[in-house]
A and B are shown apart, each in its own frame.
Chain A
Amino acid sequence: MWTWFYKLASPPYVFGVAASFRPWLFGAAALAIGYGLIAGLGFAPPDYQQGDAFRIIYVHVPAAIMSVTVYTVMAAASAVALIWRIKVGHAVAAASAPIGASLTLLALVTGSLWGKPMWGTYWAWDPRLTSELILLFLYVGVMSLRSAFEDPAQGDRAAALLAVVGVVNVPIVHFSVVWWNSLHQGATIVTLEGPKMPGSMLWPLLSMWLGFMLFYGAVLCIRVQGEVLNRERQSAWVREAIKS
């Protein structure tokens, strides 16, 4: 039953899996993002309060959700790597960090562009905005700790531990809108009463979310391939893989 898990610990196997998944993930991501963009920007009705400005939601919300998801993936991969000493986990964590940091930055930038027309300011010291900013700092801390060590294996494990410690911020980002009176609006998609949004607006958004997730998977495949090749550059199979 656990064979698939053991197989994932083998770098050549992971390299092969990433190579075969990559085109499919890219294709599916293009379809989902393409539908989301066309339906969201072209066909969804304008918001009764915000007009057409609300359409930035189709980039902002998926980026913000994925910034937390990628951190969780990174921390989980780090924990796996620390506990079972599976080196591929470090490769996945190292590959995820820059993607997650970029998505966090994207969420912050689109959020502040959206904030200017709606709240009248680019930035407010609001719990959700601040905790998202802290998430960005955590990504930067993990990345710079990894590169600060001369021994890459040591850097990997130090960064992995920091990633696991930093996971306490994830529930804070998620619940900040609920716990504190926040300028940022509360949950609208996943609530107990169902989505508080008409389908013509919701489906493109869900499609963008799916598309961002698939896109992350696709980019992760490329980066993991690169990381694995770099880490295993002394081994025979890499020479084989490069030759063929």
Chain B
Amino acid sequence: MTVSAWQAFWLIVQREMRLSFRRPEQLLQPLVFFLIVTTLFPLGLSLQLSLLRDIAPGVLWVAALLSALLSLDFLFKSDADDGTLEQLALSGHGLTLIVAAKTLAHWLVTGLALVVVSPIVGTALGIPIEAFATMLLSLALGTLTLSWLGAIGAGLTIGLRRGNVLLSLIVLPLATPLLIFGAAATERAVSGTSVAGALYFLAALCVFTCTLAPFAAAAALRITME
């Protein structure tokens, strides 16, 4: 039976999602981490809600970045350990396509989940409801971009024993523009000024990584899978 590239893409996305939902604890851990980290800030700073509102966008974004980083570790790991990734690479469909499908599925179960729970955190940190639309959109764009960047990092560190720390060291510097523009967009939405500029920049970063990162991540896997 032969499958077209498009069918293969969706088959991999479906397989990844099904596998993720069979290990729900793996999905929940980054989310719980996200909630705990954002709780720690008010506890550590013991601020009034009005002051908290000023730092809320930054706290939200830093916590989201760290939690997304935490889940990147299992993007390729289990498939690389049991040889599935090699079989997929030999399937005749390009590695770029496979990487793109896996990363998209990974974002659907981790990044999008983060976006869904962010209103809870936003409310707790005192972000007004009017700013939620911008916050959700910027987080969605930001986590998707981070997934693509993370795919490169995860591909590069796959066979390494202490790859997790190195993965953060590689991905976080590349992710700083995301943090700057994402937090700026949310902050401007809170203060009620124009958010278009920061959102356009986030969208541009997202398109840029969507188009180029799959090739880079596939090249990374070709280097490390040998």
Give residues in A with beta carbon < 8 Å to B: 82, 130, 134, 137-138, 140-141, 144-145, 148-149, 154, 157-158, 161-162, 164-166, 168-169, 172
Q: How far is the CA of A134 from the CA of B172 in the complex (A)?
A: 9
* The one of A130, A144, A164 that contacts B176, using a Cβ cutoff of 8 Å: A130
* The one of B162, B169, B219, B226 that contacts A137, using a Cβ cutoff of 8 Å: B169
B226 CB contacts on chain A under 8 angstroms: 154
Interface contact A137-B172, CB-CB below 8 Å = yes
Interface contact B173-A145, CB-CB below 8 Å = no
Q: Cβ of B152 < 8 Å from any Cβ of A?
A: yes
With A140-B169, A154-B226 as contacts: A161 and B174 at CB distance below 8 Å: no
Q: How far is the CA of A165 from the CA of B175 in the complex (A)?
A: 12
Within 8 A of A (CB), among B75-110: none
B174 CB contacts on chain A under 8 angstroms: 138, 165-166, 168-169
Give chain A nearest CB distance to B158 CB in angstroms: 10
Within 8 A of A (CB), among B173-226: 173-174, 176-177, 216, 219-220, 223-224, 226
Give chain B nearest CB distance to A81 CB in angstroms: 12
B154 CB contacts on chain A under 8 angstroms: none
Q: How far is the CA of A169 from the CA of B162 in the complex (A)?
A: 26
Interface contact A138-B173, CB-CB below 8 Å = yes
Question: A82's closest neighbor in chain B, by CB?
Answer: B219
29 contacts between A and B (CB under 8 A): A82-B219, A137-B169, A137-B173, A140-B169, A141-B170, A141-B173, A144-B166, A144-B169, A145-B156, A145-B166, A145-B170, A148-B160, A148-B166, A149-B160, A154-B223, A154-B224, A158-B156, A158-B220, A158-B223, A158-B224, A161-B152, A161-B156, A161-B219, A161-B220, A164-B216, A165-B174, A165-B216, A166-B173, A168-B174
Give chain A nearest CB distance to B33 CB in angstroms: 23
B156 CB contacts on chain A under 8 angstroms: 145, 158, 161-162
Give chain B nearest CB distance to A123 CB in angstroms: 16
Main secondary structure of the interface of B (DSSP, over half): helix
Give chain A nearest CB distance to B18 CB in angstroms: 31
Classify chain B: how many residues form its interface, as a range.
20 to 34
A172 CB contacts on chain B under 8 angstroms: 177
Interface contact A162-B170, CB-CB below 8 Å = yes
Interface contact A134-B160, CB-CB below 8 Å = no
A134 CB contacts on chain B under 8 angstroms: 173, 176
> Which of B152, B173, B177 lies at the interface centre, i.e. has the most chain A CB atoms within 10 A of its CB?
B173
A158 CB contacts on chain B under 8 angstroms: 156, 220, 223-224
Q: List 14 other contacts, CB 8 Å, given A144-B166, A154-B223.
A: A130-B176, A141-B173, A149-B160, A154-B226, A161-B152, A161-B216, A161-B219, A161-B223, A162-B152, A165-B174, A166-B174, A169-B173, A169-B174, A172-B177
Q: How far is the CA of A154 from the CA of B224 in the complex (A)?
A: 7
Q: How far is the CA of A148 from the CA of B170 in the complex (A)?
A: 12
A145 CB contacts on chain B under 8 angstroms: 156-157, 166, 170
A137 CB contacts on chain B under 8 angstroms: 169, 172-173
B162 CB contacts on chain A under 8 angstroms: 148
B176 CB contacts on chain A under 8 angstroms: 130, 134
Interface contact B169-A141, CB-CB below 8 Å = yes
Question: B152's closest neighbor in chain A, by CB?
Answer: A165
Q: How far is the CA of A149 from the CA of B226 in the complex (A)?
A: 12
B224 CB contacts on chain A under 8 angstroms: 154, 158
B173 CB contacts on chain A under 8 angstroms: 134, 137-138, 141, 166, 169
Give chain A nearest CB distance to B72 CB in angstroms: 15
B160 CB contacts on chain A under 8 angstroms: 148-149
B152 CB contacts on chain A under 8 angstroms: 161-162, 165
A138 CB contacts on chain B under 8 angstroms: 173-174
A169 CB contacts on chain B under 8 angstroms: 173-174
A168 CB contacts on chain B under 8 angstroms: 174
Question: A139's closest neighbor in chain B, by CB?
Answer: B173
Within 8 A of A (CB), among B141-181: 152, 156-157, 159-160, 162-163, 166, 169-170, 172-174, 176-177
B169 CB contacts on chain A under 8 angstroms: 137, 140-141, 144
Give chain B nearest CB distance to A84 CB in angstroms: 15
Question: A148's closest neighbor in chain B, by CB?
Answer: B160
> Which of A140, A166, A168 lies at the interface centre, i.e. has the most chain B CB atoms within 10 A of its CB?
A168
Q: Lowest 6 CB-CB distances: which A-B pairs, in order?
A: A137-B173, A157-B223, A141-B170, A134-B173, A158-B156, A141-B169
